[in-house]
Chains A and B, each alone.
Chain A
């Protein structure tokens, strides 16, 4: 049974858009989805990965190295390349689940104990970071994950490389993935220092509109009863979405940002008092991806406005006990800046 089609997800417009932007611009820093249980966060991530076109990888490589990106090959592929052209294969974009309570060994990879003891060979057994290379790393309940693991993950996600220095092993391998975290802040908060490491942050609510709720449940039921038929119903929409992402990725390097849009972004960040430049950079990157997804070659204030809540709401300096939704503050600032 294939995953549920992305275009069949009812509502949740902000989350879907954030995921599409992250798929278009993987350097954005991932998506943090905060909100209720049972809102289809994990479904959406899986559906998105299934939607994306297969990528070209070195055949048989444990890290799915990109044969076109020579500087980032893993040690094994580098050794093989000396012998000639690297064989290629098409592989699907992976989605790797990082379970709560995973040990550092499983995440980073560790000495292959079996081979060490049986053959006396010092071999590396890749971990979850290797499996997520060129795909998505999905962490449900990231707010409950051990702090030291979150640090490690964000570090790797930012550098795109996993550096292993442990148990006598010393190696590095590519680990470029889009980090998707989800969690319910009611059950424990994410450390504030980590919040702003995520590119986008969306707030998810269970739909309250009864009509929408009925449609969610109906579609889910139709999918369970006849997955193949359901997938056919949405095949055209899925293909359209895939084409849009592929086109947007191609268009992205050409999208220009005008001076006035830059100024607008700066004013917005000043008005909100976001710390550092990361917010501004992410805001612009997300706006460019949004423009590219819409097939446009220039960022307009409308693009900026559309992505601003997701790009900024988790960067506001806040009193931990101040409960007024960060989204509302961003909206207010948007109204002020865009009127001026």
Chain B
């Protein structure tokens, strides 16, 4: 009678959709990381079909204002009716149902904070994340609150069945669902083994286990349900690989008390039933580790971004403050306040005419929606200093340590000015993002200190990567400044093949692209003696050229400040 296949096929979109539809508010949401397309739309449609009749499903446009999101006074309607007319917000409308968040990787920070605040147990969210690369993704604060994650491969893996039977009965069962002893322990152990520190995922996994048991027609959630929950909720959050099963017995998370202790200590069995259950659940989770995450963990890189900062959530460039720019017609909302005087000024010439049309409003100013004027402000622009550090062997020999020191001083400078910083390093075959734009200086310093040196110099790739990042920062309304630290010894081209001549040509091309985009830049020459090629490159880039031997920290800092002031 069970409508569900056995839990082995991990991360199946159909299973996730069915579980989520049982308790969307409790399970928080599904993070769908997939490009726009029929597979994704089909999945959202599928979830919609599974929800009980009458459950709300609402789409949140990216530019939604507070009035529409949280509800409030409907100004135009209030004026027309001459009394207070309230409008319900989208969040209230979606209570108990589902909110769909398109372009979830670009949701601004304020909106994410509001959604996270409102979400707890009130609605489920389907976040449609179209981010490309590790830098763009859903805000971690929201992702933490969503039980499930799917990516494009999961959506394509199998077409969900048109309908799932028995959901109504499962929903009724869920209300009184019990849970076997040991499920909580098992899930806690698995989370610890996978390096998941937040406790919210564990709680979400417990709710998932209950939903899974309800779907399978059981009265109590047991080990099987815990395994499914570990696969669906915990596996994709892993920040480290669990110890192999064989070693588990020797390296249990808590070493058993010494056997020769006082007589009060119970004889410690090698492994209790509960621990064995935890191991089985862990095995299930291990089998469901997404392959690309597995590869990253094997390389010891962990999951950058997802674990730490809110890399993608662009700095909110709402223009609710800053230098005033004057009024223009529009709707007052989160971004623009109503400019009262300008509104009345706009309404004034029409008064005689309007009074004739509305004799029921004698002696009052009649203001219509079309009269509204809103204040506009110039949003303060944030500077983002992008440090691209040449960490190649020649540079390491020369003065990587000194370059690091210079960057550190500059970082302290940025801290004082509240600039954001980003850190890129290039060596061997390519450029690596060490730190997406952030205001957290401690992290910048740590990534810098941990930066190893050695290998060839893919200068062109480094410049290209820095340019991409600068353009991204500009798209988000920030002002980028590129600081390139190199000794000019380019020897790897864009095609990743060694060869000095080609590498130099490519570096020149990359530099001129920067100049064409008008990205302000500084080139700090880290060679022992000023390097002719580095100086030439600075010319092509239209960058200020600073040879390190002559540039002490103070001069560097002055140069950056001058560049940013420009």
Contact = CB atoms under 8 A, between A and B. Distances in A.
B321 A146 contact: yes
A103 B189 CA distance: 43
A187 B206 contact: no
Interface in B332-361: 332, 334, 337-338, 340, 343
Interface in B129-153: 140-141, 144
Contacts of A191: 418
A159 to B, nearest CB: 22
Interface in A212-263: 213-214, 216-218, 220-221, 224
Contacts of B559: none
B203 A100 contact: no
A210 B254 contact: yes
Nearest to A10: B199
Contacts of A208: 192, 197
B438 interface: yes
Contact of A210 (B79, B179, B188, B308): B188
A101 B199 contact: no
A189 B337 contact: no
A99 B113 contact: yes
A140 B117 CA distance: 9
B398 interface: no
Interface string A91-129: 000000101111111100011011011101000000000
B431 interface: no
B442 A321 contact: yes
Interface stretch (A32-40, A47-55, A61-69, A329-337): A32-40
Interface stretch (B46-54, B386-394, B408-416): B408-416
A37 B198 contact: yes
B445 to A, nearest CB: 5
B82 interface: yes
Nearest to B310: A187
A147 B322 CA distance: 12
A111 B117 CA distance: 27
A40 B202 CA distance: 14
B381 interface: no
Contact of B203 (A105, A120, A220): A220
A246 B75 CA distance: 45
Contacts of B445: 321, 323
Interface in A69-87: none
B439 A105 contact: no
Given A37-B141, A117-B367, A320-B415, A188 B440 contact: yes
A319 to B, nearest CB: 8
Given A38-B199, A103-B320, A321-B411, A114 B78 contact: yes
A121 B340 CA distance: 13
Contact of B184 (A104, A111, A120, A217): A217
B298 interface: no
B113 A100 contact: yes
B59 interface: no
Interface of B is mostly: helix
B203 A117 contact: no
Interface string B465-509: 000000000000000000000000000000000000000000000
Nearest to A146: B321
Interface residues of A, number: 52
A100 B114 contact: yes
Contacts of A97: 117
A250 to B, nearest CB: 35
B558 interface: no
B513 interface: no
Contacts of B334: 101, 103
Contacts of B114: 99-101
A220 B441 CA distance: 35
Interface string B70-94: 0001010011001110000000000
B79 A118 contact: yes
Given A39-B199, A103-B320, A210 B253 contact: yes
Interface stretch (B104-112, B156-164, B514-522, B533-541): B104-112
A36 B197 contact: yes
A184 to B, nearest CB: 9
Interface string A131-149: 0000000001100101110
A207 to B, nearest CB: 8
B316 interface: yes
A189 B141 contact: no
B200 interface: yes
A273 interface: no
Contacts of A117: 79, 343, 365, 367
Given A114-B84, A189-B440, A217-B184, 6 more contacts: A101-B110, A111-B340, A114-B78, A207-B199, A220-B203, A323-B442
Across the A-B interface, the 3 shortest Cβ-Cβ residue pairs? A101-B110, A100-B113, A38-B198
18 contacts: A37-B144, A100-B113, A105-B337, A118-B78, A118-B79, A167-B340, A185-B442, A186-B309, A188-B438, A188-B439, A210-B189, A213-B192, A213-B202, A214-B184, A217-B199, A320-B412, A321-B411, A323-B446
